[in-house]
Chains A and B, each alone.
Chain A
Amino acid sequence: MISLGYNAVLVAVGAGLLGIAAGVTGTFLFLRKRALVGDAIAHATLPGVGLAFLLMVLLGGDGRNLAGLLLGAGFSAAFGLYCVHLISTRTRLAEDTAIGAVLSVFFGFGVLLLTVIQNVPSGRQAGLDGLLLGATAGMLFADALLIAVGGAVALFASLALSRAMVLVAFDEGYARVAGLKVDWVDLATMGLVLLVTVVGLKVVGLILIVALLIIPAVAARFWTDRAGQVAVLAGAIGGASGVIGAIWSATVPDLPTGPIIVLVAFGIFAVSMLLAPRRGVLAAWLRHRQFQRQVHLRQGLLALGSGQPIYEQLTLRLLQRAGLVRADGVATPAGEQAVADAARDEARWALVRREKGLEAVAARAGIDPLDSLLTPDQVADLDRKIANGEVAAP
């Protein structure tokens, strides 16, 4: 194993905890479809950082005290969030417009403050711009502790509120009637996102924190259809990204920690998107091909059975490749058998669609052979009804 320095271990632990908290909290932001609000919150932290620095210097303290800076960041992010809320509820402007306005104005004001601070004698070494993209080089134990505590609070509060947040995100009107205070639940969600953002400034910085909130959740979504599992998986993905990214950046000289963490998270997202078993792009493509093949074969067999010509080249190719027709389009002995099977299956399907108690089966495409969906007894029952003439075989 690669031996890491004290600082690198500290950063890896801090980044891992931050990743878990951001993944879980971000899931609820994602489910509520308010990912961009997270971006507005993050950018709105900057003026608070600058003002907190100036205030602490003015009071004769050390302007670089992280807790003080983060407190300032929290206040200005909360104010930014309030502005977004005010603009989107009190005017006719949509929320995305409000987010765009607040994000850029707050960020611009923050950059202005940082420039001013650069020109103040005591501000030279402040290193506040490190909070833009994260700066883990000089991380102290106290800093890591702050991240751990903040992350843990956000994590446990998210889990405790998860049922309410899922209900609100899925069906707001129903949640309201059930007696949930929707506004309070939303406020809590945003508050937790704000907390994660603020404690994450030191590790990934305010520009990239939104990536750590959103990417783990959307990556996790590819693997499961249950909200609770999305949250847990997103926490795992976020935590893994944090640890892997931190160690990676520590072992290679001059690699920035924050961006590497985000890129690791993106790597997990890309793998999920491509390879996830049901929702993944590859699986969807294969399923489509498989289904298309099934449809063509079935249509071809039914056409052969009723003596109609087959015009579609793909159908003919597939039938040939399966050894069901010869090159001149005439059915082989195996093909004759397949034609008979298809006709019988079609008759069974026609009956299933009318049969009571088989709705779940009837809801399926009607392409796969019924033997694979029903018990032999059920199939025998269908065949008996067909033999009795309850449905005409095509």
Chain B
Amino acid sequence: MAVTPLKLVETTKVAEDLNAWPLAVRGLTVSYGQKPAVFSVDASFAPGKMTAIIGPNGAGKSTLLKAALGVVKPLSGHVSVFGQSLDQQRHRVAYVPQRASIDWDFPTRVLDVVLMGLYRELGLLGWVRRAHRDRAMACLTRVGMQDFADRQIGQLSGGQQQRVFLARALAQDADLYLLDEPFAGVDAATELAIIAVLKELRDAGRTIVSVHHDLSTVADYFDRALLLNVRLVAEGPVDTVVTQDLLEQTYGGHLTMARIDPQTVAG
């Protein structure tokens, strides 16, 4: 019997253009031990837009950010920042970590924290000049914290601390801002101040990606949303993605639409 030779299928390599995305991850899996926290996520974050990452507790929202930034090491996957590796584009990325991860008794003043944002510019030994201080003060002013520059960081309220962290990110003058739950444990005034600054950045063409917890404000604050529960559920403009159906898929059906109905969360 004649053996049909195996036919080699012509495979064309689909050269996807990742240059278009400020941040794109492909096949990203992160695991703590044997349990994946994020599994095979493909996501692209649109330029000049504010995107919220939403999902239940333990869905891997923070982990996704941290893996994209190299803070935790992914098990597999590719991360592209403005089409290149993070190392090549690091100077264009600013990160606002979760407030909970900080020791607030650390001996540092508010202005010193903002000056940390200039680390890439100052390097190890660079002298902090008047111009650097002025820039740091300008960033504090943008978040309404200019009067607190000399305070030790622990003397601030939670909301004020978060604003200082935002000011530090602003000092970097980055093109891509990644925020990990910026509204966790902050007062309403701070929430509004932060969102105003973020919208300013967005309007100036910067890209914002933020882990977000509050479904009632997603539509007001963000342009796009990424629904995550270990796996990617959906990504797109908020009005098409934040729907009863998709949220139930993300949160496991325990969610009633009431939680995001604007009428029930008035005020």
Contacts and interface: CB of A to CB of B under 8 A. Distances in A.
Contacts of B147: 359-360
B151 to A, nearest CB: 9
B71 A359 contact: no
B69 A169 contact: no
Interface in B86-105: 87, 90, 93, 95, 97, 101-103
A225 B116 CA distance: 16
B66 interface: yes
B144 A226 contact: no
A287 interface: no
Given A166-B108, A171-B97, A225-B109, A176 B119 contact: no
A171 B97 CA distance: 9
A164 B124 contact: yes
Interface in A230-247: 230
B108 A227 contact: yes
B148 interface: yes
Contact of A227 (B90, B97, B106, B168): B106
A179 B120 contact: yes
Given A170-B108, A177-B71, A226-B108, 20 more contacts: A31-B107, A160-B124, A160-B125, A167-B119, A172-B101, A173-B66, A173-B95, A173-B101, A176-B70, A176-B71, A177-B93, A178-B90, A178-B120, A179-B90, A180-B119, A227-B107, A227-B108, A227-B112, A229-B107, A360-B147
29 contacts: A33-B103, A160-B124, A163-B119, A163-B125, A164-B124, A167-B116, A167-B119, A171-B97, A171-B101, A172-B101, A173-B66, A174-B116, A176-B69, A176-B70, A177-B69, A177-B90, A177-B93, A178-B90, A178-B116, A180-B119, A221-B107, A225-B107, A226-B108, A226-B109, A226-B112, A227-B106, A227-B108, A359-B147, A360-B148
Contacts of B119: 163, 167, 178, 180
How extensive is the interface on chain A, given as a class?
Answer: 20 to 34
A167 B97 CA distance: 13
Interface residues of B, number: 32
B157 interface: yes
Interface string B208-233: 00000000000000000000000000
B44 interface: no
Contacts of B66: 173
A1 interface: no
Contacts of A359: 144, 147, 189
Contacts of B70: 176-177
B122 A163 contact: yes
A145 interface: no
Contacts of B93: 177
Nearest to B94: A177
A170 B97 contact: no
A106 B188 CA distance: 55
Contacts of A176: 69-71
B152 interface: yes
Interface centre among A160, A166, A173, A226 (most CB of B within 10 A): A173
A173 B148 contact: no
A-B pairs, 8 with minimum CB distance: A360-B147, A225-B152, A177-B95, A173-B97, A179-B90, A173-B71, A177-B69, A227-B107
